[in-house]
């Protein structure tokens, strides 16, 4: 673990952020990857389509990536399925505008793909994983994928997963071949990690984690600590619910193409009212420090000793400004206790209507 003082200035010299005296850089699991506490998630910039977040402007997406890098974020997380390849392509366009000395690490994922009719398919067979990695290399316009992850062990969750070992073995082979620098998993439970870990060490796990969804605290996070598996959590603001900007009216106004409205239980009663109450407390704590609620939500996840970093999505540069301070902001133990005292029962990952 190393510390560095970072002062960030945007390319136009008008945007300047003094993040903090110190940003703690951590090593990701058993790898040599040194990552900032916050990474930029690029799910939403994939735009519309299956798992989409509604219409998205590519220029806004590229500006968000540029702002994230200027702010001290040194890694991006994407996936082939985001926008059915579009997110990776936008990331590549953004990287072309960033100098080699500033280029962030790029993590991507495979196992979810699509057919000609845009039906989503889950596959962990060796030939499929190899093709997905080659396709990601082409879309990202890179020679090596820094971190390649299995996106889902089975999909939908709970389905059989007979090819898990085959998919992981293939990623390990691609690492040996030099096409992948490190390999990780996403959405795995302990049993699934135990199945693949004897084949090749797991560099990282990417699970959902927020103060509204805390199931991983019981078994998964202790397991990762024990086995030197880095944890990069996603949805620390619970898909926007904990940003402090979400209201009942804004939820009602979400477009039908926004997956949260139909799938995420925090955006529907009986969970919506309690979720908004938690967000109000985060705004209050944030006000004490002159910070937005989003940074409080992110800092809460980073407080756990097993968590290496948090993935935070943004659709434009302004949204990056709303959480970039989380690179250095930390909550006190008393503030953690204050938050924990009002948390509702942890909700399940997905509830389909």
Give the SS3 label for residue 169.
helix
Q: What Cα–Cα distance (Å) separates residue 29 from each residue in 1, 34, 163, 227, 270?
A: 12, 10, 25, 9, 38
Cis before residue 270, ω within 30 degrees of 0? yes
The residues annotated as belonging to the active site are 82
Residue with tokens 């002062």, as numbered in its chain = 7
Contact 2, 34 (CB under 8 A): yes
Give the SS3 label for residue 37.
coil
Beta-strand relationship, 2-9 and 16-27: antiparallel
Backbone angles phi, psi at 122, to 5 degrees: -110, 130
Q: How far apart, in whole angstroms, are the C-alpha atoms of residue 129 and residue 146?
A: 16
Contact 28, 334 (CB under 8 A): no
Beta-strand relationship, 204-206 and 120-122: unpaired
* Angle made by CA atoms 211, 224, 307, in degrees to the nearest 5: 40
């Amino acid at each position: 673990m190393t510390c560095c003082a970072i002062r960030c200035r945007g390319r136009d010299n008008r945007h300047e952020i003094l993040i903090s005296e110190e940003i703690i850089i951590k090593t990701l699991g058993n790898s040599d990857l040194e990552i900032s506490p916050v990474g930029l998630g690029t799910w939403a910039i994939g735009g519309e389509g299956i798992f989409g977040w509604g219409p998205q402007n590519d220029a806004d997406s590229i500006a968000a990536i540029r702002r994230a890098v200027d702010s001290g974020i040194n890694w991006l997380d994407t996936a082939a399925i985001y926008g059915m390849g579009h997110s990776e392509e936008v990331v590549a366009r953004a990287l072309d505008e960033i100098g080699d000395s500033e280029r962030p690490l790029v993590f991507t994922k495979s196992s979810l793909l699509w057919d000609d009719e845009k039906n989503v398919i889950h596959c962990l067979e060796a030939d499929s994983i190899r093709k997905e990695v080659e396709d990601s290399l082409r879309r990202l316009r890179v020679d090596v994928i820094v971190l390649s992850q299995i996106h889902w062990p089975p999909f939908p969750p709970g389905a059989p997963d007979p090819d898990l070992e085959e998919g992981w073995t293939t990623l390990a082979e691609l690492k040996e071949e030099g096409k992948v620098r490190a390999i990780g998993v996403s959405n795995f439970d302990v049993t699934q990690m135990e199945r693949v870990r004897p084949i090749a060490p797991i560099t990282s796990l990417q699970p959902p984690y927020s103060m509204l969804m805390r199931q991983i605290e019981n078994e998964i996070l202790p397991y990762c600590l024990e086995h030197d598996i880095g944890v990069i959590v996603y949805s620390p603001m619970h898909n926007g619910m904990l940003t402090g900007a979400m209201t009942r009216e804004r939820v009602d106004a979400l477009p039908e193409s926004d997956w949260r409205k139909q799938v995420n239980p925090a955006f529907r009663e009986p969970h919506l009212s309690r979720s908004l109450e938690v967000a109000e407390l985060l705004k209050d704590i944030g006000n004490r420090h002159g910070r937005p609620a989003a940074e409080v939500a992110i800092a809460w996840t980073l407080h756990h000793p097993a968590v290496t970093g948090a993935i935070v999505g943004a659709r434009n540069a302004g949204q990056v400004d709303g959480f970039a301070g989380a690179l250095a902001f930390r909550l006190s133990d008393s503030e953690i206790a204050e938050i924990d005292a009002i948390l509702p029962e942890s909700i399940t990952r997905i509830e389909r209507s």
